[in-house]
Amino acid sequence: MDDVTTMTGFFHHRDRVFALVLIVLASIFYALIGGMEEPWSPGALAASTYPRLVLACIIALSCALIIRPVSGAQGATIVSMKGLAVILLAAGYIFLIEAVGFFVLTPVFLFLVPLVIGYRHHVATAASAVLVTAGLYAVFVLILNIPLPAGLLGE
């Protein structure tokens, strides 16, 4: 078998291509984290420790996905419109969070995602969106003293 056939066989399996893309992106992010400041006290963990650990796990699992044996033939990939809509909602959330603010955008996002994927209990969805937003506020602002984007609500 020649090299061209081997490479086209590799790229025929979408999960392996996805794993390769993940390895490249995770490696880039791992290198970018190198500029984070190290802690002053000995024994303290650097701010980069957790992200590096997560990226190393992504790289290791992606390598395992590439190496694993191929099981069965892959048919045509069907793009889920619900999944695509959730990805677009998440991208919009990330893009608008600074301008609109955490307290306005997060409950809206958390309400829309279950609706997009087909969950139709509006009262439960609204209640959970408000409770999760309040819980995130409590953790980040009250416990960790990390400010959240105020956006339209101002400082």
pTM here is 0.57
> 55-64, 65-74, 127-136: which range is least confident on average?
65-74
Instruction: Say how far apart CA 106 and CA 110 lie, in whole Å.
Output: 6
Instruction: State the helix-helix crossing angle for 49-67 and 14-33, rounded to 10 degrees.
Output: 160
Structural domain contains residue 104: yes
Taking 60 as the threshold, does the pLDDT of residue 153 lie above it?
Answer: yes
Contact 90, 29 (CB under 8 A): no
The set of residues, in sequence order, having a beta carbon less than 8 Å from that of 119 and lying 6+ positions away, is 125
| 56 lies in the same domain as 96 | no
- Locate 113 and state its tokens: 């995602």
Q: How far is residue 9 from each of residues 62, 70, 119, measured CA to CA in Å?
A: 18, 11, 39
| 51 lies in the same domain as 111 | no
Taking 70 as the threshold, does the pLDDT of residue 118 lie above it?
Answer: yes
Last residue of a domain, one of 20, 37, 67: 67
- The pLDDT value recorded for residue 4 is 46
Number of domains in the chain: 2
Q: Give the domain range for residue 27.
A: 3-67
Instruction: Say how far apart CA 61 and CA 119 lie, in whole Å.
Output: 31
| 52 lies in the same domain as 103 | no
| 85 lies in the same domain as 132 | yes
C-beta neighbour count of 117 within 10 angstroms: 12
Taking 50 as the threshold, does the pLDDT of residue 1 lie above it?
Answer: no
Last residue of a domain, one of 67, 100, 123: 67
- The pLDDT value recorded for residue 50 is 79
Structural domain contains residue 75: no
